[in-house]
Amino acid sequence: MRKLLLMLLLFPLQLISQEVSNSELFWNSLKSHCGKAYEGEIVEGGKEGDGFTGEKLVIHFRVCENNTIRIPFFVGNNKSRTWVFKLNKDRFISLKHDHRHKDGSEDKITQYGGTNPNKGLAHIQFFPADQHTSDLIPYASTNVWWVTIDRTSFTYNLRRVGVGRFFSVKFDLTKEIDVPSAPWGSKD
């Protein structure tokens, strides 16, 4: 009887814990930073003249809606890049790169990325290049992006499989900075 009572008490907890996928836990970690901005640094893959090295790198968890999180990524005065995360009904997450010109119009190379092939882990999600990316940027067909998040840091990573390209930038989540102005194509 005691064992049955214990099972009945624990069963609802098991259902609750099983209902929240790793994708959703990752999503909730992203959302916990809504409205905040952080500075980062290149930890791998930077080189002189690449447009990133030596520039101030800032992310701003700017837009957090039910199924969309928009994180502009500023490189110095360049406000053309925004990472767009979308949580779909099956609890899979996509990552797209929204690139804009100063006037707000879309760049010809934009909306590329991928969707996590499984629900990943609560602190890391992988996004292999999707068909749209392969069609738009054939040399990026083997791209794999991954994002990690924990209590102290957020990292954005890119590996181009087969050619050895690796890029990683890490943001310190323990030190909030002033929220920057809007990215290109958005209004304050």
Count the neighbouring beta carbons within 10 Å of the beta carbon of residue 179.
14
Neighbours of 129 (CB within 10 A): 20
d(CA 1, CA 182): 62
Domains, in order of start, for the chain: 21-177 (2.40.128)
pLDDT value of residue 12: 52
Q: Residue 45 has what pLDDT? A: 84
Torsion of CA 176, 29, 95, 100, to 10 degrees: -30
Q: What is the pLDDT of residues 158-170, one digit of tens each?
A: 999 998 889 999 9
| Burial state string for 143-161 with b = 16 or more CB within 10 A and e = fewer than 16 | bebbbbbeeeebbbbbbbe
Residues of the chain with pLDDT under 50: 4-6, 8, 13-17
Nearest residue to 181 via CA among 53, 54, 77, 42: 77
What is the C-alpha radius of gyration for the chain, rounded to an integer number of angstroms? Answer: 19
CA distance 95 to 147: 9
Give CA–CA dist 122/128, Å, rounded: 18
| Per-residue pLDDT at 34 | 97
CB 134 within 8 A of CB 102: no
Tell me the two tokens of residue 47: 């080189």
Q: What is the pTM of this model?
A: 0.87
Write down the pLDDT at residue 108: 97
